[in-house]
Each structure stands twice: as C-alpha cells, then as structure tokens.
Structure 1
Amino acid sequence: MALQFLALTFLLILFPLLVAQGQEEPYSVVQGAPQEIETCQRPQWDPGLRLAPDLQEYKKNEEVTLSCPEGLQPSYTHIRCSREVQTIVHGKPVYREVWLGRASSGSWIRIRSRVECVEVLQVVPGTLEVSSTSIKLNWTCSFPDACQHTEATCRLAGPSSPACEAEEVSGVELLHGQRGTFTCTSLQPFTDYTVTISVPPSTVLFSWVIRTKEAVPQKPEQLQLDARTGTLRWKALPSCRGEIVGYQLNITAWASQDGGFLHMERLRLSGQSTEHRLPTYGPGTRYVVAVRGLTAAGPGAASLWESHTNGSETPGPPHGCSRLVLDTSPSQGTAVLPLHPISQPPEAVSEHQLLVAVTHNSTVLEDACSGELQPSNHSHPPDPYVAAVLNLSAPTDFVLGDGTRGHGFHNAPLHPGWDYSALLRLARRSPQAETFTCVCYSFSMVAGQSSYPWPGIVIGVVVLLVLVLVFAGIVWFVLSRRRKSVSVKAKENN
C-alpha cells in the first residue's frame, strides 16, 4: 500500500513537469528554432561597384561578378552567396548570410571587410622626379595579377608652337611585376607631356599631364647698334626653354679721355626689353657688351657685341689707363698717386675704394673693378685687394703702400721689382643695376726708374734724329752716285 502511494505521488509531481515541458517545446520550435537562410541581401559596399546580375536578393551559392569604373578594380571580381553558423541554440545551429570571394588561386574565401573600388596602379607618393629633360616615377600594382601586359608611354600633351619645335617621344615600355620605375628621357624643357599607363586595348590605369622644368635660355640673336642714338637692340627670346623673366647686360667700356678710365655696368632689364642705350664716351672708347636671357633656371649663354669708336682697333684697354704717378720709392715700398673724385655734382659720392692688382692685364683689372675684393692676404704674389677706403671730395695725393690699416682694408707695402695697377673705384648699386667706374694707374716698382715720361720722350727724340740722319746719308749717297754716272756717260758721248 505504501509503495502504491509513493508511485502515485511521483506521477502527480512528474505530470505537471511533463505538461509544462510539452507547452514550452512547441514555443521553442516556433520562436527560436534554427532556420537555414537560403538567400543573401545585396551587399552594401562601395556605391561605385557594379554587380552582375544586378539584384536586391541572391540565392545561396549564386555567383555574382563585380566591376568598377575604368582605372579602378574591386578587391574581388567574383563573389558568391553562402551561409555560416552564427550560434547554437538548444543544440541546433543558427545560420547567417555571408559572401565568399574568389582568390587569385581560384579558391573561395570568407570576405571579412568592405569591398571597394581601388586604383589598380598607383604612383608612390613623393617619388615623382621632374627635370628639364626627364620624368621619373615609381609605381605599385594593387593586385598581383592586375598589371600584367601593362604599357607606359610619354607623349606631347599638345602641338608645339613653330618657334619652339618639340620632337615627339617614341617608344612604349612594358611594365612587369607588382612594382617598378618608369622614366621618360630626351624631353624638351618647359613642355607638357602626358604620361599614360594602360592595359591594351583601351583600359587606362593612370594618366597625368606633367610639364618639364625650365632650362637656361638660348643666346639672344641679332645684336645691332643704332649709331644715331647709341642704342643696342636684340631679338626677343621665345619661351621655349622657360618663361623669359628678364635680360642681363654686362657693359664694359675702356675710355681714353681724361687720362683713361674703366666703366662697367651690370643691369637687369625686364623680360619685355629688347634694347638699351649704351653710355656715351669720347673717341677711342672700346665697348664690350654681353647680353643674356634669364629664366627661373638662371642666365643663359651670352651674346657678345664689341665695338671701337672712331675705328680704333686697340685689342686691349686704351693706353690712357696708365695715369701719371708722381713718385715711386721701391726701397720704401710706396708710390704717390694723384687722386681726383670720379663723381661730379649733383650726384657726387665721396666714398671711393682704392684697389691694387699685381698686373697690367686688362681682364684681371676688369674682374677687380666689378668684383667683391678682400684686404691683402699676404699671398705671393697677392690677389687683387682693397688698399684703402677714401672719403674723396677733392683732389689729393695719396701714398700707396704706407702700411696703414682700416676697417676692411690694408694699405700693404709694395714689393720692389713688381708691376702694379691701382684702381680708384666708385660703386653705385640699385635693385636693378650695379655700376662700377674705375680710374687706372699702372706703374712699376723698379729702382732708378722715373715716374715721369720725359726720359722716354728724350730717348724717342734722339732715336728719331738718328734715323733721320741715317736716311739723309743714304739719300745723299744715292744721289752722288747717280751724278757721277751721268757725268761719265756725257764724256763718252763727246
């Protein structure tokens, strides 16, 4: 009886549990039972992606082809709708939709990131190098197999002007691998070229118009002087090698008037200038003018114009460069120079520099007159140097070589037996011009040699008299012989 009571009690307790379980299980099947997903929704990736077929919903295992606009490519060209287990509920798997992409090996792999249209070929930032005659760049390919059979070319971006004839670049370079360098050479300066990298027949991966850098210009042509106005003219340079930003003129004039002086100008004219009026001096002036064009790359080669006034053909500086030196003392290393201010009112400038060069060479003197010189460096022989800076407003006799020092100069003693040239220089500077005017004194530090010209004149007169006497003796001898010959013939005839 007790056993029956226990069995009945167990059944009474178990039955409600079984009923409750029976009620819960149907709910679980309806609400949380794993259901296999048979479709995939259209992926929300790059808006530029093109899907074929283009649907809003795809069946499981349905293959879709992806493409991008020209020059771009998706990271996967073929995708497929699939499923994977997301979780396990009550011992059963719950699935969700996924997309698989076909790798280059042909296998299908789970796509775990956003698929986007990316450039197939990219220029490595910071590697573009452009000169006046070449273009160089480094490239990388985003996908190992996407850049096979790729071609790179350089072509003129447009027709060149008749004044700036540019030759077309020939040749096509095949690119290999996933990275490399492409270089265009033998290009024209300051010219637009289109660099194109493409996959035949017509897929352009990269295209860029690049202008080569500027180069120095050609020589100016057709330099001519208008003798009536003293104006030098030249033909304007074309912008073939760069934009002409100006012209540089270096004018050198050796004048013999007033004992001789050297005038030098360095001018910067505008890019539209095609003429300049030369400074006017008296007869016997020798002019040398160098004209250069300027671009952003710098000055080009110079065209030279040279002339001698009044038909003078003196190859070097006028003889008047050697002005009078009052006295030289080789034993003391000094020479006395009679200096006169170069500038005249109303533009009188009092500060003059006295330069010293151990030479009579005209080229060295020209460089010294327009150069930036330093104090004497005690070299042997010394380079041209600044001996003194003078506040010269009136004529004065200056002792060169007395050993005095100042700010930026040293009036070093002169060396016996050397030939010297001293230049009294006046410099004027402005943003567009530098003008140097130099008066030249040439002398020699030879013992016993007078600085005055009278001994030379006397010797010249004596030599001239001797030549006259010799010539007169020859004429008298010839005439006397002739008279004797005529007298003999007359006697024979009689």
Structure 2
Amino acid sequence: MRCIGNSTSATWDDPIRCTEQCQKSALFLGTNVQLVPPQDYYLPNTGVSVRCPEGYKPSRDRITCKAEQDKSVWDVTAPILCVELCRESDLSVDIRVQLVPSQRYYLPNTGVSVRCPGGYKPSQDRITCKAEQDKSVWDESVIRCVEQCAKPTAPGIRSLSLNKDFYDLWESVSVTCAPGYHGVSGAVRCEWNGTSSNWNEPDPCIVLRRPSFTQFPTGADNALKWRLSEGRKVYTGFQLNISAHREYDITFSETESHWLGPNVTEFNMELKYGTNYTVTLRGFTVSGPGEPAVWAHETSIGEPLLPLKNQIAIGDTTATFQLHPVPDSNGPISSYEIIVSGGWNGSLRQLCTSYTSTRYNSSQVPTLYTAVLLPAVKLTKSRTFTLGDGLYYDGFFNSPLSPDWNYKVYLRVTSKWKEVEKASCTCLDPYVVSLKLEITGVPSPTETVLQWRRVGGSRRDITGYQLNMVAWKEHTVIEEESQRLPPNVMEHRIPMEPGSSYMVTVRALTAAGPGEASLWLSGTPKATGASDSYVRVSLVLKPLFLTVLILILLCVTVREKWEQRGADFPAFRNLIGQFRGEKRHRGRTERGGSVEMAPL
C-alpha cells in the first residue's frame, strides 16, 4: 500500500483488512469423506475436491470457498456424504447373464443392459441403479437367462405369422398349414414345462379326413349318421348345412344350418316328398373348417294332400260344390278327377289305386264313372262345379243326375313326376237329388190332420221325417213340439185349439241329411223355404217372433183386400218374388190356408 498526503495531512491508499477463511470444520462431512487438498482452512475463491473410498461416490464432487465482504463461506450447506454405489456382485445372476457396460460398480440412476446368448432371453432386458438416501440399490436383483422355443418345424407347417429363429416364453405365433393338412389350433404358444421351454402343440398341423356317412334317412328312420375321422380329438364341433329345392317348383327353396357338438354322430332329418336335398357336413377345429362330406338325394313324390270337403248344393238333376286347388307340397299336381258313384260299394283305397277313368254309360248299373277330368293348370283358384250339367270335360260326359238315385261323389287328385304316380281320394257327403215334400192336406176344425207326400222319385232313400210345431194365442206361445217320425208315416194330428194359431214345418230325412222344409201356417199363406229355426223359439226371442207374425198377418190382410177389389194380385206376387230372388210354387187350400215350396 502507499502513503498519500497533501499540505495538511497524509493517509494510506488501501487499508489492510484481515478476511476470515473457510474452515473445514464448518462443513457437515459424512464418514469417509476426504477433501483434496486436505486442510483445516481454505482461502476465498478456492475450489476443493471431494473424495470417497472405492465403491462410494460423494454427494458433491467439488465444493468452493466463496468470499463475502469480510468473511469466507462454503457454497454448500447440506451434508456431504459418501453414497454407496450399486455393485455387480449384489445381483443374483446365472452364468449366462452379461451386463453392458460390464463393471464392478455403477453410479446411481444409471441404466444397465442385460444380454443372454442365442436361444435365451433375459428375464429383464434392462436394470437400473437407483439412489436411496445414502446408498444405491438395483431395481431388480434377480436376473436370469430364460430358455426360448426354437422355430416350429413340425410337418405340414406352411408359414408362421412371425418368422424368427427363437420365440420368447409365453409368446404365441399363428400357424398356416400346407394343403392336405389342418390346423389343430389357430396358434401355438411357447410354454415352460418345469425344466425347459417347449411349444404347447408340437404338431400344429395334422391330416384331417372328412367325416364318413354311415346311414342316410329313409321313410322308416330319419336319422343321418356319420363316423368321425382320426382327428376326432381336435374337433370343436360340426356344421351341418341342408339345402332343399324342387325341380318342378322354382319358388320352393329351404335352407337350414345346425352347429353340433364334437361328439355328435347323427341328426334327424324330416324329409319332404318330391324334394332335392344337398347335405354338407364338415368338422371344425379352432383354426377353421375341414373338408366337407356331401350327400345329395331326391325324395320320391307322395300322395297329394287331401282336398277340402264342401257341402253339396242339391238341385233337380244337378248338384254343385266348390273345388279348391291342392298345394303341391308332396309333388306336382297333374289332374283333378270328379268320380260319381250310384250304388257302388267299393272302398276309397280301391278307388284311388285301381279305378281307371271311365266314361259315363247309361246302361251300366250300378254306375261308377268320371264326370270331370280337369288338368291342374286349369284350376289355379277355387271354382264351383255343377254335377249333371250335361257338358263334356276333356272327353268325359258330365251326365245329368237321376232324381231317384242316392249318389256319392269322389274327388281324386293325381300327382305325376319322373315315372312315379301318386293319388289321393276323398269322398264328399252322400246325397239324394231334389228331395222335396208337398203338403197335401191341412188341419181344419173337424179334421185336425196335416198330410204330405214326396215330390218325385220314391221313398226308398228316406229314413224319416222331422216335424216341428209352434202354437200361440193372444201374442203368447202356448205350445212347442218337435218330433221325428218314421219313413212310412206321412201325416200328423194338430190340436187346433180354438182361437190359437199354428206354424208347422216338415222335412224328409236321408242318410245324406235333411231335405227342404215345407211350412204350413194356419189361416195365412205359408212362408217358403222355412228354416227349422222358427220352431225352437226361446223365451228371449218370443217378442220378436210375435212382431214378425203380426207383420205377416198385415201382409195377408193387404193381399185379401186386393183380391176383393179385383186387383192384379198375381202381378203383385210376381213383383215380390223378384224382390226376394226366389221362384215359388203356391197353391190355395180348400180350408183357407196356403202352402209354398222354396229352396232353403
């Protein structure tokens, strides 16, 4: 320093001060920590290295003594420790494990790669030395080289989804099999068996033969049966596909598919007539379907379905009924045949199998002939046929019917296909043509007998008569009667109580059913075509019944007044007949009653 002065005083240019040094004792040093250079005091702005024994690392590699005004301080206040390093010897490894880089000690937060020789894979690809307070530890202490599975080379393997020389433990790979081989499973997996690594399926591809059919469905047994191939143990199930079509009906098509268990060896098929079937059966494994077994078969046609039976409407020399098309479920329908029988006693089965279509012959008794032979193409919807219309149908004469014959009508439906012919027959209800009764005598106060007779024909077809009567007086029903009379009785006594009114219906009965009803109404014209429902009048309907009777009486009164005035009553009657759409036969009786006949 230098002394500087003027005319009056003098002073030093830089006064000398004493600055406190950094003391070693001011540091918090852990065990085995060494400072280089080793001193008790360190000058300001001096760097000091920190050292630790082998296998340890200082928490600070270097510290510095810094000057602050008139004193010096260390740049660290935290304790300085020797942190223990991770040792290679701390790891539990087998002799195949290699650490990269390979050294005795590893610093904290250092990652180390693990390597194994070919055919092996380390249990951990990388381990890390982690710092924990004053020491370092490995994040994984046990390292092994695990044996891998070598690339599958079994017969039948065409390709692998991942192609490499070795596969890790528990790794799966998909296998594609060569033609002629079938996969046991979709993928194979490398597994540990306790001593080594091996594939869970050593032969992933096998030769899988198709199932073999051993029995086909028949009419007596509908079971389709098969035998499994040698690969049965690998089946997960079977798929059975059935398709059906008909050559004669392009609109018919049916398909069905069934999944069957691996141990199923039969299936019941409900075969339909006249149908072409194609059946495919294939086994499945986890990797997909095997080669299918195929069976193709055409069933024969069967007897056509029975046609609908309908009631016969009876005329004088004709009878009509509805003819409906029959579905071709059992085979294509070729024709409909109406066969008329008069006195023939053969069986329905005999008619279907043995009868040959025969033209009408008036000299043949008993008679059995074909009235109509209709190709199926001419019956596409329901159609009304009249027996006895006197027309020809494809060369067969539909002869008028005799009014005194008891007839039966048979309908034969025929199906033909590929040299096979089947037929089904049905018999319509027997009937007698034009069975009518005429009332010939009506009751009077002196002779209370109602008499009748049959119009046309003989009585040999009649099994009896049904007579129903209702009597009323002053708007109150006083008597109801219903009797069945034997065929030789053609009269019945009516009480004819004074002041009472009577309504009687009578009809003939045959084996084919009742005929038309004829009605007699005391003191009034008889209604025509009367129904037996008039006879059984319930208490609930009596008021309505009486109202109807009053209306009838009013009509009678009007008619009588027209007759008294010379009016043209027949013209009026014809007008009423046209309105009702009926043709009636009317006759006056000598006792003031009237009778009429009309179809029911």
Same fold (TM over 0.5): no
Higher strand share: 2
Larger radius of gyration: 2
| Higher RCO, 1 vs 2 (CA within 8 Å, ≥6 residues apart) | 1
> How does the TM-score come out when normalised to structure 2?
0.26
